[in-house]
Structure 1
């Protein structure tokens, strides 16, 4: 495990836990991006007997499919409310896995404990990218597999964060923007020569469930922690609320390919830890 967290780090982690407990991220993940979990599991070829860690697993979007494939899975996340939702879903499906509250930047696991480590639009939100990348590699055995899906800076979610930035609370000192994990050069720099067989592919997931841009915006306002926090930061400033409402609708319309169909771009990374 990494060094003991400072008081400032503990306060930051508490804010992050609270943010992701807001709204209903498990519902959003199931409604919109359920396919991403099976995408990373398939890309890694996860099968019976593998020891798998899902970092920032949320409600198990990838962890549950990995367990269904026969792996021994630990689903870890900073926010216990997400893990509770995931365990409930796994129980409904009759799938067994271990749910552990854990910080991606200070994982409570032994060196080289896992055969495979993965994360699906999760690890990107840990604020200190070098720390979380170091922890990912530390708990992975030599030759073990890495699988990551992260939103790109240029894609819809990356641009949504850019749109919300002027309205949001200032980022903590030393934090790196989450969508940098969706930039191939940045991920390569985080891992360096500690990995081999590195591949990075840009893909998209089609979002078709919304009839209007306003409906999609309001869905995020009600369910997505980072969006909820951004609006709360505006307080009673009706003018700023209206401006953000309009900016998000404009963004959605820019990405609409017709009939309110959006292609959200992500980066799929696979690699192996060097021996």
Structure 2
């Protein structure tokens, strides 16, 4: 099955400010080394959505905000016809290379989660693992996930929770970060089942939200976590760049991030909570 990219029927309603914001987001995720984070830490999440949605050979699947293909690649291994999209071309290039290395056939497309260039009902399954949660306008992103999924098709979204480790990390970063643009919502809200249920509304059935935890053994202490994320993780890098001219703020954030890591570390393991939402398009 071939997916046709259709831009003629999808109006470009983005403002100049919105386009600038999306360009900034794309550059942020291209900074550092997110592929290292994907490989070292979150790779275990790759098959979670694929398994839960029961992706099978022949299914037409869209992975939104796919990054390097953490979930798209396992879906392709099952024989699904997979399209992986992301705002950041550099991440897609790495995913494309990984697919070629493993003999997997996927389509890779630069696309905005809030304005997907596909026909209504084009896919049997639409999924996003710790990806669509970072689109600034949650309702627009949710509307797009639903629009491109066929009636009776499956939707799956995996997101960090507000109270979990990554949600708490963003809470620590917030006072040091530039103010969010008007209308933007905090990413960890996608980790609240009530929030996602409200976004989807009555357009889905069989809505299920499950909270789970990813065990992370990569870090010996909070300082190692902090330094790793300062070096590799785009959102953290962006905040440190913003406060780079204020050594006192840099020192304060250093201390807070290390303390957060230590607080969540027990016997060499950190547990990063996430919410797994699945639903059927009505």
TM-score, normalising length: structure 2: 0.95
1:125 paired residue number: 134
2:54 paired residue number: 45
Alignment of 1:197 with 2:206, yes or no, is: yes
1:31 paired residue number: 40
Query: Matched residues in 2 for 1:3 and 1:238: separation?
Result: 42
Q: What's the Cα RMSD here?
A: 0.8
Alignment of 1:268 with 2:269, yes or no, is: no
Matched ranges for 1:40-119 at <5 A: 40-119=49-128
2:187 paired residue number: 178
Once the two structures are superposed, residues 188-233 of structure 1 have per-residue CA deviations (whole angstroms, 9 ceiling, x without a partner) of 0000110000101000000002122111111100110000000000
Query: Matched residues in 1 for 2:34 and 2:180: separation?
Result: 21
What SS is found at the alignment partner of 1:99? strand
Deviation at 1:12, TM superposition (A): 0.5
Query: Matched residues in 1 for 2:140 and 2:11: separation?
Result: 8
1:214 paired residue number: 223
Query: Matched residues in 2 for 1:232 and 1:177: separation?
Result: 20
Given that residues 2 and 135 in structure 1 are in contact (C-alpha distance below 8 angstroms), is that contact kept between their aligned partners in structure 2?
no
Deviation at 1:258, TM superposition (A): 2.2
What SS is found at the alignment partner of 2:46? helix
2:16 paired residue number: 7
Deviation at 1:2, TM superposition (A): 5.2
Q: Which runs of 5+ in 2 are unaligned?
A: 1-9
TM-score, normalising length: structure 1: 0.98
Deviation at 1:257, TM superposition (A): 1.9
1:16 corresponds, among 6, 25, 37, to 25
2:6 paired residue number: none
Given that residues 130 and 159 in structure 2 are in contact (C-alpha distance below 8 angstroms), is that contact kept between their aligned partners in structure 1?
yes
What SS is found at the alignment partner of 1:33? helix
Query: Matched residues in 2 for 1:190 and 1:38: separation?
Result: 25
Query: Matched residues in 1 for 2:189 and 2:218: separation?
Result: 27
Once the two structures are superposed, residues 27-86 of structure 1 have per-residue CA deviations (whole angstroms, 9 ceiling, x without a partner) of 101110111110110000001000000000000000000000110000000000000011
1:256 paired residue number: 265
Query: Matched residues in 2 for 1:241 and 1:22: separation?
Result: 19
2:143 corresponds, among 112, 130, 134, to 134
Deviation at 1:147, TM superposition (A): 0.9
Given that residues 83 and 99 in structure 1 are in contact (C-alpha distance below 8 angstroms), is that contact kept between their aligned partners in structure 2?
yes
Deviation beyond 6 Å, 4+ runs, structure 1: none
What SS is found at the alignment partner of 1:109? coil
